[in-house]
Amino acid sequence: MATHLLGRSEFGKPENEGNLMTIEEANELLNEWVPNERLRLHMKQVAAVMKAWAIEKENADEKTALKWELAGLLHDADWEKFPDDHCRVIVEELERRNIDPEVIHCIASHGPSYFGVEPNNKMDKMIYAFDELSGFVHAAALIRPTRYDGMDVKSITKKLKTPSFAAQVNRNDITDALSRIDIPLEELIDFVIQHQKNVA
Ligand SMILES: [Fe+2]
């Protein structure tokens, strides 16, 4: 993916803290902006993994978990229709809708080498880690006759070392994301498998 530097590090307005949208509203936006079913599924998978991580690992309350889920659900919302302006368009749309600045920052920082925005908090760092891993695990599921059934972590770590497999998944991003959090790769892969396998 080409770089689409956003050229700033502040997003949204502090007074909009706590302003979220419902999952139904976010899905409406996706249905309008993302005709590609596979890309929509990718965002739903990242959303499911983000929400589950917030609840299971970060002890998040309902509202915080919704923030994590929304960031996952919307992070690539502008990719299909605005490929040359990816990230800027969805960020500006969420600012126009007065959405919580943390959700917007999370989306803006989900690819620091592309958008030039550093992940700050745990939510930012986890979407960065999960985005590529989720796509990679799904690519691996698609070539298995039984899809997610019986998939094991080792087969994924092995494929990560095979550059020709799902070559579009940037291994450097995964390594960089992991260096910012103190969580083993195997644990993240297992979490992704468990929480996105039933997302349809
Ligand atoms: Fe993504």
Give the residue carrying structure tokens 């929304």: 70
> What's the pLDDT at 2?
77
Alpha-carbon distance 78 to 104, whole Å? 13
Q: How far is the CA of 42 from the centre of ligand 1 (A)?
A: 7
State pTM to two decimals: 0.97
Instruction: Say what the pLDDT of residue 17 is.
Output: 98
> For each successive 10 residues of the chain (200 residues), what is the average pLDDT?
90 98 98 97 98 98 98 98 96 98 98 97 98 97 96 97 95 96 97 96
Query: What span, in angstroms and rounded, lies between the C-alpha atoms of 60 and 52?
Result: 10
How confident is the model at residue 3, as a pLDDT? 84
- Distance from Cα 132 to the centre of ligand 1, integer Å: 7
Please tell me the distance between residue 129's alpha carbon and the centre of ligand 1 in angstroms. 10
Alpha-carbon 18 to chain mean position: 20
Say what the pLDDT of residue 78 is.
98
CA of 79 relative to ligand 1 center, distance in Å: 9
Would you say 102 and 63 are in contact if contact means Cβ atoms under 8 Å apart? no
CA 48 → CA 44, 123, 148, 182, 183, distances in Å?
6, 13, 15, 21, 19
Q: What is the pLDDT of residue 40?
A: 97
| Owner of token pair 């994590």 | 68
Ligand 1 centroid – CA 131 distance (Å): 5
C-alpha span between 127 and 5 (Å, rounded): 18
* CATH number, domain 15-196: 1.10.3210
Burial pattern 73-103, b for ≥16 Cβ within 10 A else e, equals bbbbbbbeeeeeebbbbbbebbeeeebbbbb
Taking the centre of ligand 1 as the mean of its atom positions, its distance from the CA of residue 133, in whole angstroms, is: 9
Angle (CA) 120 175 158, round 5°: 145
Per-residue pLDDT at 178: 97
Residue 19 CA to ligand 1 center (angstroms) comes to 23
Per domain, the residue ranges of the chain are 15-196
